[in-house]
Amino acid sequence: MGAHILVIDQGTTSTRSVLFDDQARRVAIGQVEFPQHYPAHGWVEHDVEDIWRDTLATAREAIAKSGVAVADVGAIGITNQRETAVVWDRETGEAIHRAIVWQDRRGAAHCARLRADGAEALIRARTGLLIDPYFSATKIAWILDNVAGARARAERGELAFGTIDSFLLWRLTGGKVHATDVTNASRTMLFDIHRGTWDEELCRLIGVPSAMLPAVHDNAHVYGTTDSALFGAAIPIAGIAGDQQAALFGQACFERGSAKSTYGTGCFMLLNTGAHAVESKHRLLTTPAYRLGGETTYALEGSIFVAGAAVKWLRDGIGIITHASQTNDMATKVENSHGVYMVPAFVGLGAPHWDPDARGSIHGLTLDTTAAHLARAALEAVAYQTLDLAEAMAADGGSRPKILRVDGGMAANDWLCQFLADLTDTAVERPLDLETTARGAAFHAGLATGLWSGLDALAGLWAREQCFEPVMTAEARAPLVAGWHDAVRRTLSDRAAG
């Protein structure tokens, strides 16, 4: 078995492939951005032929750059944008419609009907999810109802559904394998996370024929092998995980109470709750974190819609910075935010509020407010929102994180990491490699093929770059948090009044 793992990391705006060695070190990367399609307001689509072309190109590029022989690539892992829905013809392998992306809102009316019919409690209990067009099910139903003849063909078993991982697996194996992993299945609104199976009642309720659905396996599992014509040799495909669960695994958050928070455009925080699927009373999501050997480990998940996007707005929207890295220096030039709070609800507020109609606001402006205060308020907002998630997780019985491991582009900001530690009163650990999503998929593939022996071996491969310990007193923290809560209340009440 080869000593390298090739990971296909298929994201929302780019596809990349990363080759790792047996110490989980990155050896080579190939990456390319691909077009986004916006056919109507609130609609977002991807052409899966773009994704397939880029997958092959970046995988071949990573192998070529590395100088590693294909024979020394022991396995392929896949991690992907979650919830994005693809429906394709089983005979030809061609999609019958562009992929409908996770951001797409065209299923909103269908979701409203489900709520009006009283389905929320059932869906919540079985899937751990809220009813929302974010998830795959209403996207599938829309395709079946809007592509001529599609619903009848699906009923006859002629069409296949999959999230992006499943579609890539189908193509990589030459149409021999139609499967997915438990984390991606759990994001469809059709999967019973407790029984670990597709739910026939939910399929009927939402209008998705179960004949379309892929087989569901553990994350570390040999799904099949690539068509040998693709890379010159057949390579086992041995690990699959949705991007946020892959990041949790890549951060070696294997113990109950461990947590990771990924800071990019938005933020996703996952808390390992062990073998217990904690039912959230505070509008968090209950989700499988990973399944190994048939045993599921669960997590609570909270989503922040805007994190790095607020910094991007400072740069592109109002022009007070020219580069995101400037915010670190600006935040340190002022003693505090001068009572300024930014509630970055540019596209609504995520967990625990789930108010898609809320809009951004800035509170506490005075004549001596400066650009540095606004920059600091934007960074502080990321930490305040993270605190909201941590408190909601604790209130749900999931415990406060013992240690918070951070990754993503914003985690490179030292000031933000320290303020995050102070505000949450939790040690914040930053790894040597901030891009942990691909590493998580590599870990799964390496486990399945025997490159690594178990979770202890994987934990030994994780390396810390820096730990930020909390130094702020409770007395100093309390008024800051109270000011944030007041700003959020004002934002929500303004929306309700409008």
Q: What is the pLDDT of residues 162-183, one digit of tens each?
A: 999 999 999 999 999 999 999 9
Q: Are residues 50 and 131 in the same domain?
A: yes
Q: How far apart are CA 227 and CA 356, in angstroms?
A: 43
Residue 96's pLDDT is 97
CATH number at residue 411: 3.30.420.40
For residues 211 and 331, membership in a common domain is answered with no
Q: Of 212, 244, 276, which residue constitutes the final position of a domain? A: 244
| Predicted structure pTM score | 0.89
Residues 84 and 87: their CA atoms lie apart, in Å, by: 10
User: What is the pLDDT of the chain when averaged over all its residues?
Assistant: 92
Question: d(Cα 77, Cα 246) in Å, to the nearest integer?
Answer: 10
Q: 197 and 154 in one domain?
A: yes
Span 142-171, average pLDDT: 96
| DSSP 3-state of 274 | strand
Range of 375's domain? 252-431+463-498
pLDDT in the model for residue 496: 54
Domain stop point among 244, 266, 296: 244
Q: Are 184 and 134 in contact (CB under 8 A)?
A: no
In a domain, 139, yes or no: yes
| Phi, psi for residue 364 in degrees, rounded to 5 | 90, 15
348-405: pLDDT as tens digits: 788 888 787 788 899 999 999 989 899 999 999 999 999 999 999 888 876 778 889 9
Q: Which of 99-108, 215-224, 269-278, 465-474 has the lowest mean pLDDT?
A: 99-108
198 three-state secondary structure: strand
- The DSSP code for 304 is E
Same domain, 136 and 18: yes
Mean pLDDT across 138-165: 96
Same domain, 261 and 239: no
238 and 256 in one domain?
A: no
Residue 495 has pLDDT above 60, yes or no: no
186 and 294, same domain (yes or no): no
d(CA 117, CA 44): 27
Residue 291 and residue 176 share a domain: no
Query: What's the gap between Cα 378 and its chain centre?
Result: 22
Q: How far apart are CA 74 and CA 292, in angstroms?
A: 19
- 236 pLDDT above the threshold of 80: yes
For residue 397, is it within any domain?
A: yes
Domain assignment of residue 452, yes or no? no
The model's confidence at residue 43, banded by pLDDT at 50, 70 and 90, is confident
> What is the share, in percent, of the chain residues with pLDDT greater than 90?
72
- Whether 451 maps to a domain, the answer reads no
**Each residue's pLDDT tens digit, 429-445:** 999 987 799 999 999 99
* Sequence-ordered strand ranges (E) for 81-145: 86-89, 99-100
Query: Is residue 444 included in any domain, yes or no?
Result: no
Neighbours of 333 (CB within 10 A): 12
Across residues 217-230, what is the average pLDDT? 97
Domain end among 214, 244, 274: 244
Higher pLDDT, 74 or 323: 74
What is the residue-wise DSSP string for 252-273? T--STT-EEEEESSSEEEEEEE
Question: Quick one: pLDDT at residue 347?
Answer: 74
Say whether 249 sits in a helix, a strand or coil.
helix
Lowest-pLDDT range, 67-81, 85-99, 346-360, 403-417? 346-360
Domain count, the chain: 2
Kindly state whether residue 436 falls inside one of the protein's structural domains: no
Residue whose C-alpha is closest to residue 84's, from 130, 46, 34: 46
Predicted confidence band of residue 193 (pLDDT cuts 50, 70, 90): very high
* pLDDT tens string 245-300: 999 999 999 999 999 999 887 889 999 999 999 988 888 999 999 999 999 999 99
Cα separation, 393 vs 401, whole angstroms: 9
Task: For residue 494, name the pLDDT band (cuts at 50, 70, 90).
Answer: low
CB under 8 Å to 18, separation ≥6 — which residues?
6, 7, 9, 26, 28, 29, 62, 438, 442
- Residue 77 forms part of a structural domain: yes
- Kindly tell me if the per-residue pLDDT of 497 is higher than 60: no
Q: Where are the beta strands (DSSP E) in 243-394?
A: 259-263, 267-274, 285-292, 295-304, 341-343, 361-363
Mean pLDDT across 315-328: 83
Q: Are 171 and 86 in contact (CB under 8 A)?
A: no
On the question of pLDDT at 54 being above 60, the answer is yes
Q: Tell me the pLDDT band of 410, cut-offs 50, 70 and 90.
A: confident
Question: Do 262 and 237 share a domain, yes or no?
Answer: no
What burial letters (b/e) apply to 415-433, b meaning 16+ CB within 10 Å? Answer: bbbbbbbbbbebebbbbeb
359 and 236: one domain?
no
- List strand residue ranges (DSSP E) for 3-150, in order: 4-10, 14-20, 26-33, 45-46, 73-80, 86-89, 99-100
In which band, very low, low, confident or very high, does the pLDDT at 346 lie, cut at 50, 70 and 90?
A: confident
Is residue 447 in some structural domain? no
Give the per-residue pLDDT at 305: 79
46 and 138 assigned to the same domain: yes
289 and 310 co-located in one domain: yes
Average pLDDT over every residue of 101-112: 88
